[in-house]
Amino acid sequence: MPLTKKTRHGNILSINAKVARNINRAIILNSIRERQPISRAKISDLTKLNKSTVSSIVASLIAEDLIIEEPDHSPRGIGRSPINLRVKRGKHYVGAIYFDSSKTELAVIDMDGTIISSAEIKTEIGNPSEFVSLCIKKLNVMRGQFHPHHFRGIGVTVAGIVDAAQSKVVYAPNLGWQDLDLGQVVRDYAPAIEMVTVENDAKASALAELLLGTHKVNPTNVVFLSVGAGIGAGIVVDNHILSGGSHAAGEFGHMTIVEGGERCTCGNQGCWEVYASDRATIRRYAAEKKLSQEQTANTSLESIIGLAAHGDDVAKEALTKSAQYIGLGIANIIRSFDPEVIIIGGTIIQAWELIYPEIMETVNKRGFFGKQRNTAILPTSLTGNPPLLGAAALSIRKIFTDYRIAL
């Protein structure tokens, strides 16, 4: 593992007593989060830290109200009963905002991903500063309403290309934003919040799946595939979001899968999302049913899924065709990136029973080279909207791996 690393800003993080303590603190905090309930003794076994070190750090975590002892008197064999530790709920909250082209979602979320309060606003294209301020004010009301203190940070996700290190939106065509210092705007309207994080929606969703999802796997290597109007993806390696040199890693949607194929809005031909996105499904259905332009505009993916569930063969065919193309792209992702798990999010997973066999058939037909691979393909396990939970996950991760290097 690369421990001698440069931070995102080019400095080198050397180890001194404080950093060492904070790293160990983060190790303990995360082992509690991942395996709760867990005793001090088990943590010591797991981390190879001395029992006394674990006790000392756990004491400070309890003082910080981050974890809590859970008295457990159930008989569990020989010896003294362990004192179980858990991440404390109902004490620390984060704000989450997800800016999408049609609507913007807000929420106050607990450390374990429970949504405490949520709201939705129609997204106003135009003056971004004005609209963002409206959202922050709304969020301020929501958090004031519930919990004036222990509000740790605000996470923001945007459907577009984001420079997370600088908390800037590089390009969000659907929102009409370009080179927008969104982090600064948020900080301006919520000056009391120290922790503001901005990230691309699919990337944050991948993080949320890892941090807040209920899949049992604990992979090092996850691709979250967000199928919507377009297709985006987030890649997470070792809890670290892969951002890419131009902040555009995971833009699989514009991967060429049909040379000289149909033209895409991006200017290229044969892009994956032309064949596999929700828009493609709707277009395919509308073409077959010979719907007018207006009727097409009023057709949602939900309605097609509903029709398919009631036996509409045209709807079924539109969905399975998209599923096949999704499988084709996934085969490419597996070949190039070889993740342990691919997680799919988006409206289309409501038709999982219908699409999963089609996806798998295509993936298998595309022939795993040499040895069989065991990449799992799963629908998201998140109970809420992945990009919204992703926004929360950004802050939650910071709390859980905060090194507090400040003197």
Least separation in angstroms between CB 218 and DNA: 22
Residue 337 near which of DNA, a second copy, none (CB within 5-8 Å, type-dependent): a second copy
> Any contact of residue 292 with a second copy (CB under 8 A)?
no
Distances (CA, A) of 99 to 103, 123, 236, 400: 7, 7, 21, 25
Cα 298 off chain centre by: 29
CA 23, CA 44: separation in Å to the nearest integer? 15
Contact in structure between 32 and 39 (CB atoms under 8 Å): no
Residue 345 near which of DNA, a second copy, none (CB within 5-8 Å, type-dependent): none
> Any contact of residue 170 with a second copy (CB under 8 A)?
yes
Stretch near DNA under the rule CB under 7 A, chosen from 46-54, 134-142, 199-207, 213-221: 46-54
> Any contact of residue 79 with DNA (CB under 7 A)?
yes
Candidates 2, 10, 77, 367: give the one binding DNA (CB under 7 A).
Answer: 77
> Any contact of residue 60 with a second copy (CB under 8 A)?
no
Could you tell me which residues come within 8 angstroms of residue 192 by beta carbon, excluding any fewer than 6 positions away? none
Candidates 51, 89, 150, 373: give the one binding a second copy (CB under 8 A).
Answer: 373
Q: Cβ closer to DNA: 71 or 191?
A: 71
The residue type of 206 is: A
Least separation in angstroms between CB 220 and a second copy: 8
Residue 40 near which of DNA, a second copy, none (CB within 5-8 Å, type-dependent): DNA
Candidates 157, 200, 277, 375: give the one binding a second copy (CB under 8 A).
Answer: 375
Q: Cβ closer to a second copy: 2 or 311?
A: 2
Could you tell me which residues come within 8 angstroms of residue 359 by beta carbon, excluding any fewer than 6 positions away? 323, 324, 326, 327, 330, 377
The two structure tokens encoding residue 3 = 């421990």
Beta strands in 263-331 (DSSP E): none
Stretch near DNA under the rule CB under 7 A, chosen from 9-17, 186-194, 275-283, 353-361: 9-17
Q: Cβ closer to a second copy: 143 or 397?
A: 397
Buried-exposed string 22-39: b where 16+ CB fall within 10 A, e elsewhere: bebbbbbbbbbbeeeebb
CA 91, CA 83: separation in Å to the nearest integer? 21
> Any contact of residue 286 with a second copy (CB under 8 A)?
no
Q: Cβ closer to DNA: 74 or 292?
A: 74
Contact in structure between 155 and 395 (CB atoms under 8 Å): yes
Torsion of CA 99, 104, 108, 114, to 10 degrees: -90
- Residues of this chain that interact with DNA (CB under 7 A) are 14-18, 20-21, 24, 39-42, 48-53, 55-59, 73, 75, 77-83
